[in-house]
Amino acid sequence: MSTPMGFGRMHRKEDARFIRGRGGYVDDVNLPGMLYGAILRSPHAHARIVSIDTSAALAHPKVKAVITGETLAGLNLAWMPTLSADTQAVLATDKVRFQGQEVAFVVAEDRYSARDALELIDVEYDALDAVIDARKSLDPDAPIIRDDHEGRADNKIFDWEAGDKATTDAVFAQAEVTVTQDMLYPRVHPAPLETCGAVADFDKVTGKLTVWCPTQAPHAHRTLYALVAGLPEHKIRVISPDIGGGFGNKVGIYPGYVCAIVGSIVTGKPVKWMEDRSENLMSTSFARDYHMRGEVAATRDGKIQAIRVKVLADHGAFNGTAQPTKFPAGFFHVFTGSYDLRAAHCEVTGVYTNKAPGGVAYACSFRITEAVYLVERMIDVLAMELGADPAELRMKNLLRSEQFPYTSPTGWEYDSGDYQKTLQLAMDMAGYDALRREQAEKRDRGELMGIGIAFFTEAVGAGPRKHMDILGLGMADGAELRVHPTGKAVLRVSCQSQGQGHETTFAQIVASELGISPDDVDVVHGDTDQTPFGLGTYGSRSTPVSGAAAAMVSRKVRERARQVAAAMLEASPEDLEWAVNESGGAWTVAGTGAGKTIQEIALAAHSSLELPEGIEGHLDATCVYNPPNLTYPFGAYICVVDVDPGTGQVKVRRFIAVDDCGVRINPMIVEGQVHGGLADGVGMALMQLMAFDEDGNHLGASFMDYLLPTAMECPSWELGETVTPSPHHPIGAKGVGESATVGSPPAVVNAVLDALRPFGVRHADMPLTPAGVWRAMQGNPIRT
C-alpha cells in the first residue's frame, strides 16, 4: 500500500512496532527499585466493615506497606470525587458496597508476595442486604446504600427529563396507533485486552510525581490528581503509553491508581499495580444497565408522530459515569434517532445498586447506544403492530436531506445527512427484496431466517466548551505543530489513541494541509509534559475535536509559510496561491511559475532571511479548537440471521453496514473501526452479559462466563459508504469510532425477532443466547 500525500488508505504507522511485539504498555514499565501493589477486594456486595487487622500482612518479610481506608483517611484521600460529581471510596472505610470493591492495598517487593500478603489481612464484615435489581432500589424497605451521604433517605441519584411533556402527551392522546414496549439494555463490560494498571513514581527530592497508566484522558487525569491530592499540577506528569484497547474502560480514575500513588509516596519507591482479568471485569467501568419503556404514537398508515420514554438507570454503588456534567443521562435524549416526528419526551431516573460503578463505557457515545437500541427496537415493534415492512416504515419516516441542519424535538442540531440514500444503498447491497422472498420460502418450510434493520444517528465530538465540561474542564482541545528546518513536522495533541491509529490519521491530516508525506509527520500524544491540554479520547471526539485542531493548526502554519514565501519571492503575500501537486505543497506567485515548496520555506524560516516586520521566524503554531457543534455520523445496517429451531442457536449469516462519517481520512482505518464495532455488537446482542445472583455475587468475572465474540461468530462483513461532509468541521469529517457498536445490536436483535415472527414474539432482551431464544420460542421471552 503506497503512502498517499494526505487522505487515503495507508497502513498504520504504529503497526510497525505492534506487529513486532515492540509496543510499550504500562506493564512494560520497569523502574529501578520498583515495588508491586495488590488490592484486597470485598467478597460481599454490601457489608459493614467491623475491623481490619493488617498485622500479619505487615509481618511478611517482603511486604513494605499495607494501606487501608484508615491510612487514606489520615491523608484525606479515603474518598475521591467521581467524574459525575459524586464521591467514590478509594479504600473502604465504613462499608463495602459491591463485590470486588477495594478494601486494602499491599505494597511488596514482588507481585507474588503482594498477592500472598492479601491472604494475611483479616477483615471482619457484618453482611447487609444488597440491592441488586434496580427495579427494587426505590422500594421503601430497600437498604440505603449511600448512607455516607448526609440525610439520604433512598437510593435515588437523579431524576432528569428532556423534551416537551405536554405536547408529547397531547399527541399520544390523539394518536391512531400507539405501541409500548419494555426492554433492558443489560449490563455489559468493554473488557479491553489490556487490563487497567499504573506505575507511580514520586521523587521526594524534586517533588515530581510521574504516573504511567493507560488513560484515555491524560490531561484530565493530571488536573484531577492536582485538585484532589493538592499536588502542584506542574509537578505531575501523566504518561499514557501504548494502550491495549480502552473502549471507555480507561476514562475514569480507579482506586488502584490512587493507591499506587500513595504507595509510592509512602515507600519512596516506584510502585506498580496491574489488575488481573477478574478484577477488571468486577470493578472497572461497566456499560449500559438501562431499563427502558418506549412508547410510539403513529398514524395508521405508519407516520410516526411522537416517542415517549421512561428509563431506570442502574449506576451501581457510586455515580461514576464519565460524561459532560450537564448530561446526567449522557446523550440518551438523542433517542428520536433518525426520524422526523413532532414531539418527544423522556424521563430518566438514576439509582444506586450494590454493583460496580461506571455506566458510560464500551463505545457508547455517551448512551447513544441505549438511545439507538430503544428507537430501532420500537420501530420494529410498530412495524409488527401495523403489519408493515420495517424497511419501508423507516424510509417513510427518515429525515429528508432538505431538513438539515435539523433541530430535533429534544434540542439536538443535526449537522448534515442524506438518510434515504444510505438506507437504499444498504438495501441494494443486501438484495433486500430477494432476501424477503427467500425468507418467505423458508418460512413455508419451517426454517427460521430473519432480516434485521437498524438506522442510527450519533452525536459525537463533545463540546463546545460552553455547553460541555467534565468537572468544570471545558471540552476543547489544543494542538501544537512544529515544522523542522528540513520540512519534517511534529504534531502534539491532547487525545490518546487506544488502537484507533491516531499516529497515522493525525499525520495524514497535517500532511494533507501542508502537502507533505504522512511519513514526515510525527504525532506525539499521551504525555502531559509533551502535549497541550485537552479533554481526551472518548465519545469518538478525537477526529471531530483534536482532528479539527490538527487541521486548524496546520492552516496557521501554512499562513505563516505564506509570509515567509512572500519574503523569499519578494512578492506580496496576497499574490501567492497555495497548491499541492505530486511533489508536495508550495506557495506560488499567481500566473507565474515561481514558487517555493513547504520544505524550502521551512528552511528559509529558520535561516538568515530577512522577514518583514511582525513575522516571526521558524515555522510553528499552536491552537485550541472549540467545536461549534457535535458531528452527526449515521448509518444503515442490515443483518441476516438463521436460527436453529431445535436449539435456538443464532447464526449471523450476513451483515451489511453502510456508514456515513463524512470525509474519511483513512478509509482502511475507518473500516477497521467498523469491523471491531460490529463484532462488539454481535457479542452484546448474542452473548455478553454481566450477571449477578441475588446476593450480588458477580457471575461474569472471567472469560469462561463473560463471553466475547470471536471470528467464529462473525460473518464476513459487507461494508458500504456514503459521504455527507460535516459542514462545520474543517475537513468535513465526523467521528466513527463507536458507530458500529451503537448501530449493530438493534440490527442483530431485530433480525432474530424477525426470524421468530412465526412464534408471535414481539421482544426478547439481549443477550439472545440459545437458551434465551429457546425461551422466547416457548412464549416466555423474559429472562429470570
Task: Give the interface with ligand CUN as residue ranges (CB under 6 A).
Answer: 216, 246-248, 251, 360-364, 538-539, 738
Q: How far apart are CA 466 and CA 226, in angstroms?
A: 23
Stretch binding ligand MCN (CB under 6 A), from 101-109, 143-151, 154-162, 667-675: 667-675
CB nearer to ligand MCN: pick between 11 and 436: 11
Q: Determine, following the binding rule CB under 6 A, whether residue 541 of this chain makes contact with ligand MCN.
A: yes
Q: What pairs with residue 449 in β-bridges? A: 642
Cβ closest to ligand MCN, residue 105 vs residue 456: 456
Cβ neighbourhood burial of 293 (10 Å; 0-12, 13-18, 19+): middle
- State yes or no: residue 499 binds ligand MCN (CB under 6 A): yes
Bridge-partner residues for 290, per DSSP?
185, 313
Residue among 691, 725, 727 nearest 706 (CA): 691
Shorter beta-carbon distance to ligand MCN: residue 101 or 673: 673
Contact assessment for residue 460 and residue 575, using Cβ atoms and an 8 Å cutoff: no
What is the number of helices (H) and of strands (E) in the chain? 18, 34
Rounded to 5°, the CA angle 651-657-660 comes to 160
Choose which of 88, 321, 353, 540 interacts with ligand MCN (CB under 6 A): 540
Q: Which is nearer to ligand CUN, 97 or 541 (CB)?
A: 541
d(CA 79, CA 575): 62
3-state helix, strand, coil in the chain (%, to 5): 30, 25, 45
CB of 681 to ligand MCN, least distance (A): 13
What does residue 350 show for φ and ψ, rounded to 5 degrees?
-100, 135
Counting every residue, how long is the chain? 784
Please identify, using beta-carbon distances, which residue of 380 and 513 lies nearer to ligand MCN: 513
Q: Which is nearer to ligand MCN, 363 or 751 (CB)?
A: 363
Count interface residues toward ligand MCN (CB under 6 A).
35
Q: The cell 515495588 sits on which residue?
A: 35
- Applying CB under 6 A, among 120, 621, 736, 753 the residue interacting with ligand MCN is 736
Nearer to ligand MCN, 450 or 518 (CB): 518
Cell matching residue 671: 473500516
Largest CA distance in the chain: 86
88 part of the interface to ligand MCN, by CB under 6 A: no
Looking at this protein, which amino acid is placed at residue 717?
W
Nearest-approach distance from CB 653 to ligand CUN, in angstroms: 29
Pick the binder of ligand MCN from 562, 664, 728, 763 (CB under 6 A).
664
Chosen from ligand MCN, ligand CUN, none, partner binding at 245 (C-beta under 5 to 8 Å by type): ligand MCN
Binding-site string for ligand MCN from residue 227 to residue 266, where x marks contact by CB under 6 A and - marks none: ------------------xxxx------------------
CB of 721 to ligand MCN, least distance (A): 10
Out of ligand CUN, ligand MCN, none, what residue 505 binds, judged by CB under 5 to 8 A for its kind, is: ligand MCN
For 56, half-sphere exposure in the C-beta direction (CA atoms, 13 angstrom radius) is 10
| Least Å from the CB of residue 503 to ligand CUN | 18
Interface mask (CB under 6 A) for ligand MCN, residues 764-783, using x and -? --------------------
From 96-104, 120-128, 478-486, 532-540, give the range in contact with ligand MCN by CB under 6 A: 532-540
CB of 659 to ligand MCN, least distance (A): 9
Nearer to ligand MCN (CB atom), residue 590 or residue 723:
723
Options 168, 323, 528, 673; binder of ligand MCN; rule CB under 6 A:
673
Cβ of residue 15: shortest distance to ligand MCN, in angstroms?
12
Q: Give 70: exposed, middle or buried? Use CB within 10 Å, 0-12, 13-18, 19+.
A: middle
661 binds ligand MCN (CB under 6 A): yes
Q: Which of 233, 224, 225, 216 is nearest to 261 (CA)?
A: 225
Residue 598 parent element (H or E): helix 598-605
Among 74-82, 558-566, 657-665, 685-693, the segment contacting ligand MCN (CB under 6 A): 657-665
Hey, what long-range contacts does 111-114 have (CB within 8 A, 24 or more apart)? Answer: 111/36, 111/38, 111/274, 113/36, 113/60, 113/62, 113/63, 114/36, 114/37, 114/38, 114/63
- 410/666 with CB nearer ligand MCN: 666
Four-CA torsion 453, 457, 458, 464, nearest 10 degrees: 180
Identify which of residues 345 and 541 has a Cβ nearer to ligand MCN in the complex. Answer: 541
Under rule CB under 6 A, residue 4 binds ligand MCN = no
Integer Cα distance of 721 and 736 in angstroms = 12
> Closest separation between CB of residue 576 and ligand MCN, Å?
30
Cα–Cα distances in angstroms (integers) from residue 351 to residues 105, 136, 700, 723, in the given order: 29, 10, 22, 41
Residues near 250 by beta carbon (within 8 Å), at least 6 away in sequence: 192, 196, 214, 215, 216, 243, 498
Q: What's the min distance (Å) between Cβ of 251 and ligand CUN?
A: 6
Cell 513536522, residue located: 489
Cβ distance to ligand MCN smaller for residue 471 or 663: 663
Nearer to ligand CUN, 360 or 603 (CB): 360
Q: Which is nearer to ligand CUN, 252 or 409 (CB)?
A: 252
Select the binding partner of residue 683 from ligand MCN, ligand CUN, none (C-beta < 5 to 8 A, by kind).
none
Nearer CB in complex with ligand MCN: 102/520: 520
- When the beta carbons of 9 and 488 are compared against ligand MCN, the nearer one is 9
Does 538 help bind ligand MCN (rule: CB under 6 A)?
A: yes
Nearest CA among 343, 339, 337, 333 for reference residue 307: 343
CB of 485 to ligand CUN, least distance (A): 38
Shortest distance in whole angstroms from residue 243 CB to ligand MCN: 7
Would you count residue 665 as binding ligand MCN (CB under 6 A)? yes
Residue 501 in the binding site for ligand MCN (CB under 6 A): yes
**In contact, 584 and 515? CB cutoff 8 Å:** yes
416 contributes a contact to ligand MCN by CB under 6 A: no
Angle between helices 548-569 and 598-605 in degrees, nearest 10: 80
Task: Using CB atoms within 10 Å of the CB of residue 445, give its burial: 0 to 12 exposed, 13 to 18 middle, 19+ buried.
Answer: exposed
Q: Residue 139: helix, strand or coil by DSSP?
A: coil
360 binds, among ligand CUN, ligand MCN, none (CB under 5 to 8 A by kind): ligand CUN
CA distance 73 to 90: 10
Angstrom distances, CA of residue 265 to CA of 38, 68, 203, 214: 16, 15, 8, 21
Q: CB neighbours (10 Å) of residue 489?
A: 25
H or E segment and range at residue 563: helix 548-569
Give me the sheet containing 576-581, strands edge to edge. Answer: 576-581, 584-589, 595-597
Shortest distance (Å) from residue 327 CB to ligand MCN = 15
42 sits near ligand MCN (criterion: CB under 6 A) = no
- Residues of this chain, 704-733, that bind ligand MCN according to CB under 6 A: 733
By C-beta, is 324 or 648 nearer to ligand MCN?
324
Does position 10 interact with ligand MCN (CB under 6 A)? The reply is no
CB of 363 to ligand MCN, least distance (A): 4
* Contact characters 314-353, ligand MCN, x per CB under 6 A: ----------------------------------------
Instruction: Kindly give the pairing relationship between strand 286-287 and strand 358-359.
Output: parallel
Determine if 543 is a binding residue for ligand MCN (CB under 6 A).
yes
Report how far residue 327's alpha carbon sits from residue 365's, in angstroms, rounded to the nearest whole number: 12
Pick the closest to residue 530 from 164, 177, 239, 155 (CA basis).
239
Residue 597 or 673 with smaller CB distance to ligand MCN: 673
Can you give the binding site for ligand MCN, defined by CB under 6 A?
A: 245-248, 363, 498-502, 505, 537-543, 547, 661-666, 669-670, 673, 676, 733-738
